[in-house]
Chain A
Amino acid sequence: MAAVQGGMVDSYEEKDIKTEPPNDGGGNNNANDGRLLSPSPGSSASSAGSNKSVAGAPEDQQTLLAVLQFLRKNKLTESVEILRREAGLPEDSLDLKGGDSSGAGSGGAAGGVDLESGDASALLSRVTVSSSAAAQAPTKAPGEDQPDVNVVLSAYSQQGDPALYGVYYSGLKKFIESVLDCHRAELSQVFYPLFVHMYLELVYNNHENEAKVFFEKFSGDQECYYEDDLRILSSLTKKEHMRGNETLLDFRTSKFVLRISRDSYQLLKRHLQERQNNQIWNIIQEHLYIDIFDGMPRSKSQIDAMSGSLAGEAKREANKAKVYYGLLKEPEIELPLDDEDEEAENEEGKPKKKKPKKDSMGSKSKKQDPNAPSQTRIPLPELKDSDKLDKIMYMKEATKRIRLGPDNLPSICFYSFLNAYQGLTAVDFTDDSSLIAGGFADSTVRVWSVTPKKLRKVKSAADLNLIDKESDDVLERIMDEKTASESKILYGHSGPVYGISFSPDRNYLLSSSEDGTIRLWSLQTFTCLVGYKGHNYPVWDTQFSPHGYYFISGGHDRVARLWATDHYQPLRMFSGHLADVTCTRFHPNSNYVATGSSDRTIRLWDVLTGNCVRIFTGHKGPIHALAFSPNGKFLASGATDGRVLLWDIGHGLMIGELKGHTDSIYSLKFSRDGEILASGSMDNTVRLWDSLKAFDDLETDDFTAATGHIHLQDNSQELLLGTYMSKSTPVVHLHFTRRNLLLAAGSYNP
């Protein structure tokens, strides 16, 4: 039973004994009987808020209706008929209180069904990995597919005696403190979700004073990294406050995931079932998902590393899907006859001889990388001639690239935006570092040319007719010299511009803004081409795919969307985060998208199917920076807690933690060959980290991938290669040029 009342303990226990012996055939009927008690506390809670329920006629009626509703939802039509006939209920009375009770009913049913299986081990089965996911989904589904807030909130209609909540909680505290050291760290994980859920129950049932007392007494005990959440919670004192707060509602409908070793879990279960305070046990069953693993209990530091997100850690099977993290094969391009070759001619007869020499980019092996997606997994635009020219330029520059390393640090060139008055909200560089674009809080987008070459608009159509189309320099002739200027301003948005991204072919610029739209600008004419509407709320970040054509955006509505430039509606919607999506990045092979969110998790999504293939938890603040390593295997993330975390995508594990920054990290970038990771933060510094070393240690470890244990070394100091202070200029963006010069951008903030 998920719901227990203080006053009705006796009758509950009777029912318990009755339903204990396993009955398979009569399972549903027992569920009905067993559940009769739970909707009644539910209905009485919503009606009067009193503890003792007098089994008066209206309550019984309502519980019967709730039962009917439940049966109907599970398509037990015969039972429905029988019950209705016996109870003498009219046809149309099913809809009364259906909404409210079904939530409580299904909550109770979940508990009821479990008791059906009979003994203590069945309760265990409720929370083990495989079964519970399946079991909970159908029972919760009736309550949840109505997007009605009341249904969701009514999950809290169970109640114990509010005054006793504090007693229950301190009882648990005492128990956990008395447990063996090795188990204590794991069991302490239970405190926070339990505290929050108990508090919210008190608030929902209008016990404002008890809620306040409870909060004051126990909020100080929680982990420091939950401080922000607790502060928000402290301002929530009435039931009305709970509506409309989507994040909170999500928090309560999604189960808080905890990973506990089997031994610790047994201890906890045994303790809670011995006592009368099954209230806590009920809450645990209802709102927590305990992912049990066999093995050594984890230490406090291990737990701290992984926890911090809004919904606990990630279930292990969430990170089991196969991810193709390899890079796509580079297309073979013949190089032009140039000074680079020794051979003067590009003979048709000898292509093979050329390619291995020129392809310093790594398509040495003709075999397919097993970890790489196939070329046609997602449709990608084919290379145009201009793209091929770009690639050739890229390869040429790559040969001149400086090899970076701990003894060969990059030079950093800082672009300071003056007189922006804290209005600079987004920055991007083109890949060849020739243009820089800034998005501002006054809703403008400004583009500057970094090279001496000025920005020009294309001539008007009439003029274009007049030029000689056959001439060699036609691409220069189409440009109108009279419009040449150092910078261009693009107007169009009606709110601050929070995300900016250049297309890889330098033809387009994307900007996303607080007005909910994403605009595509042409860099030939410096005018706006398309406005993509879909998010109705501020769009915090956007990025073009490395191959062009696709782009992603993430915003306040907690989804990230994949768009193509020629579709006015998104192609994919990545939904699953509990709070705003603050950062969106493409994987180098364009097949996966990483999103960082205010719920302190990072999710990796598959573009082909839209499924979430990885969930990374561990940050203690909203994530604002993400970077994929150039080889596609690793992901680095930075958040407002000042830490950079490194993740192995293939295994789905955290492999490193870089501590050093003292304020939010807003930008992360790997160098072109992945040897150095640069991070820029609000504390006005740029720090360089040795990523080769951080990922190197990885190869020798053997992952306990089954348990997902990580053992992080505290080697941030060794990995830190340099800290560079800027003059009161927070670093908003970082970019490595093709030759591995580091460019940084920020607005001067005296």
Chain B
Amino acid sequence: MSAPKTIPKDAQVMIQILKDMGITEYEPRVINQMLEFTYRYVTTIIEDAKIYATHAKKSTVDADDIKLAIQCRMDQSFTSPPPRDFLLEVARQKNQTPLPLIKPYTGPRLPPDRYCLTAPNYRLKSVQKKVSTSAGRITVPRLSVGAVSSRPSTPTLGTPSVQSVTTKVGTPVSLTGQRFTVQIPPPSQTTTTKTTTPSTPAVSNVLINPSLIGSKNILITTNMVSQNTGGDSLKRKHEDEDDYDAL
């Protein structure tokens, strides 16, 4: 290590850039961030340019390749908002339609379900094995529903066989981002409380990682499931992929 502490040349360049642009107050980490960005960007561009050069069967990378690489990356990551005249045109069209009237007394005013994030974001996997019933436990469909209401197809309101409920831990209630935990009872059993997964003969619940909050909202109804006590495959009433817009 050299005794005097010198800043590497690249960092000095960054400091100079900040000074030229008139930025006087900044945290020291900003220099590192800028350096990191620069290295990553330049590396990406040069790699892309190499690919283009080999594609054009050139032995060396030249300025045209670099230009092309920059152009392509620009369209990909550094997009800019649409131009003003386009926006004006779109706005003009949109503003022509009158404001829609508001229907009275409709409960929570939310878009159609497919555009909401209120459906369960997991899917139950069926288990083929036959499991002995252990002390006749039944699980009760417990859904903590995101929206308080309004969809007749949700499992909550469907199942008649609700008994008492435990709020004990057996059902992994994750704290934050989760939407639903559902345990769907096979209709054959009677008494209540939790089950552990192997004890359900028909259905085992699999909680998909709640962080898969995504555009695929999979709807499931208990009515349907409880009918498949054999539980081979879960037919989903709504085919999700086809229905939803690419949002």
CB of B99 within 8 A of CB of A524, answer: no
Q: Determine the residue in chain B with the shortest Cβ distance to A580.
A: B81
Q: Determine the residue in chain A with the shortest Cβ distance to B175.
A: A489
Is residue A610 within 8 Å, beta carbon to beta carbon, of the partner chain?
Answer: yes
CB of B146 within 8 A of CB of A525, answer: yes
Q: Determine the residue in chain A with the shortest Cβ distance to B78.
A: A244
Q: Determine the residue in chain A with the shortest Cβ distance to B101.
A: A379
Chain B neighbourhood of A381, CB < 8 A: 102, 109
Q: Name the interface residues of A659-702: CB closer than 8 Å to any CB of B.
A: none
Chain A neighbourhood of B247, CB < 8 A: 533, 568
Tell me which of A246-254, A388-396, A617-625, A645-653 binds B: A246-254
A381 and B167 alpha carbons, distance in the complex (Å) = 38
Q: Determine the residue in chain A with the shortest Cβ distance to B97.
A: A571
Q: Of the candidates B102, B105, B106, B116, which one forms a contact with A380 in the assembled complex, judged by CB atoms under 8 Å apart?
A: B102
Chain B neighbourhood of A570, CB < 8 A: 94
CB of B110 within 8 A of CB of A491, answer: no
Chain A neighbourhood of B164, CB < 8 A: 466
Q: Of the candidates A528, A536, A564, which one forms a contact with B109 in the assembled complex, judged by CB atoms under 8 Å apart?
A: A564
Query: A531-B117, A564-B109, A573-B94 in contact; A253/B84 too (CB < 8 A)?
Result: yes
Closest Cβ of chain B: how far from A534's Cβ, in Å? 10
Is residue B21 within 8 Å, beta carbon to beta carbon, of the partner chain?
Answer: yes
Tell me which of A322-330, A551-559, A740-748 binds B: A551-559
- The proximity string for A residues 238-277 relative to B, scoring 1 for CB distances below 8 Å and 0 otherwise, is 0000001110011001100000000000000000000000
Chain A neighbourhood of B105, CB < 8 A: 384
A533 and B115 alpha carbons, distance in the complex (Å) = 10
Tell me which of B2-10, B32-40, B49-57, B85-93 binds A: B85-93
CB of A235 within 8 A of CB of B21, answer: yes
Closest Cβ of chain A: how far from B96's Cβ, in Å? 8
Chain B neighbourhood of A460, CB < 8 A: 142-145, 156, 165
Query: A461-B156, A559-B87, A578-B84 in contact; A492/B177 too (CB < 8 A)?
Result: yes
CB of A530 within 8 A of CB of B116, answer: yes
A558 and B80 alpha carbons, distance in the complex (Å) = 11
A684 and B35 alpha carbons, distance in the complex (Å) = 32
Is residue A507 within 8 Å, beta carbon to beta carbon, of the partner chain?
Answer: yes
CB of A527 within 8 A of CB of B179, answer: yes
Is residue B148 within 8 Å, beta carbon to beta carbon, of the partner chain?
Answer: yes
Q: Name the interface residues of A428-484: CB closer than 8 Å to any CB of B.
A: 457-458, 460-463, 465-466, 482
Query: A462-B140, A530-B116 in contact; A524/B148 too (CB < 8 A)?
Result: yes
Q: Name the interface residues of B149-182: CB closer than 8 Å to any CB of A.
A: 154, 156-157, 162, 164-165, 167, 176-177, 179
Chain A neighbourhood of B116, CB < 8 A: 529-530
Is residue B242 within 8 Å, beta carbon to beta carbon, of the partner chain?
Answer: no
Closest Cβ of chain B: how far from A676's Cβ, in Å? 32
CB of A246 within 8 A of CB of B83, answer: yes
Chain B neighbourhood of A574, CB < 8 A: 91
Q: Of the candidates A145, A149, A244, A564, which one forms a contact with B100 in the assembled complex, judged by CB atoms under 8 Å apart?
A: A564
CB of A530 within 8 A of CB of B110, answer: yes
A235 and B20 alpha carbons, distance in the complex (Å) = 9
A381 and B103 alpha carbons, distance in the complex (Å) = 8
Q: Of the candidates B88, B102, B112, which one forms a contact with A568 in the assembled complex, judged by CB atoms under 8 Å apart?
A: B112
CB of B144 within 8 A of CB of A246, answer: no
Q: Determine the residue in chain B with the shortest Cβ distance to A572.
A: B95
Chain A neighbourhood of B90, CB < 8 A: 573, 575
A565 and B164 alpha carbons, distance in the complex (Å) = 35
Chain B neighbourhood of A611, CB < 8 A: 95
Is residue A549 within 8 Å, beta carbon to beta carbon, of the partner chain?
Answer: yes
CB of A462 within 8 A of CB of B141, answer: yes
Closest Cβ of chain A: how far from B135's Cβ, in Å? 21
Closest Cβ of chain A: how far from B230's Cβ, in Å? 25
Is residue A345 within 8 Å, beta carbon to beta carbon, of the partner chain?
Answer: no
A463 and B192 alpha carbons, distance in the complex (Å) = 14
Closest Cβ of chain B: how far from A272's Cβ, in Å? 30
Q: Of the candidates A144, A246, A466, A533, which one forms a contact with B81 in the assembled complex, judged by CB atoms under 8 Å apart?
A: A246
Is residue A567 within 8 Å, beta carbon to beta carbon, of the partner chain?
Answer: yes
Chain A neighbourhood of B117, CB < 8 A: 492, 528-531
Is residue A86 within 8 Å, beta carbon to beta carbon, of the partner chain?
Answer: no
Q: Name the interface residues of A607-644: CB closer than 8 Å to any CB of B.
A: 607-611
CB of B100 within 8 A of CB of A379, answer: yes
Is residue A342 within 8 Å, beta carbon to beta carbon, of the partner chain?
Answer: no
Q: Name the interface residues of B38-63: CB closer than 8 Å to any CB of A.
A: none
A572 and B101 alpha carbons, distance in the complex (Å) = 14
Chain A neighbourhood of B14, CB < 8 A: none
CB of B157 within 8 A of CB of A461, answer: yes
Closest Cβ of chain A: how far from B193's Cβ, in Å? 12
CB of B83 within 8 A of CB of A147, answer: yes
Query: A492-B177, A522-B146 in contact; A608/B99 too (CB < 8 A)?
Result: yes
Q: Of the candidates A254, A525, A530, which one forms a contact with B115 in the assembled complex, judged by CB atoms under 8 Å apart?
A: A530
Q: Of the candidates B78, B95, B142, B148, which one forms a contact with A522 in the assembled complex, judged by CB atoms under 8 Å apart?
A: B148
Chain A neighbourhood of B140, CB < 8 A: 462
Q: Name the interface residues of A368-396: CB closer than 8 Å to any CB of B.
A: 378-382, 384
Q: Determine the residue in chain B with the shortest Cβ distance to A377.
A: B99
A-B CB contact pairs (8 Å), 24 listed: A144-B85, A147-B85, A235-B21, A244-B74, A379-B102, A457-B144, A460-B142, A461-B142, A461-B156, A462-B156, A522-B108, A525-B145, A528-B117, A529-B108, A529-B147, A530-B118, A536-B79, A557-B81, A557-B87, A564-B109, A570-B94, A571-B100, A572-B94, A573-B90
- Report the 3 A-B pairs with minimum CB-CB distance, sorted nearest first: A610-B95, A461-B156, A575-B91
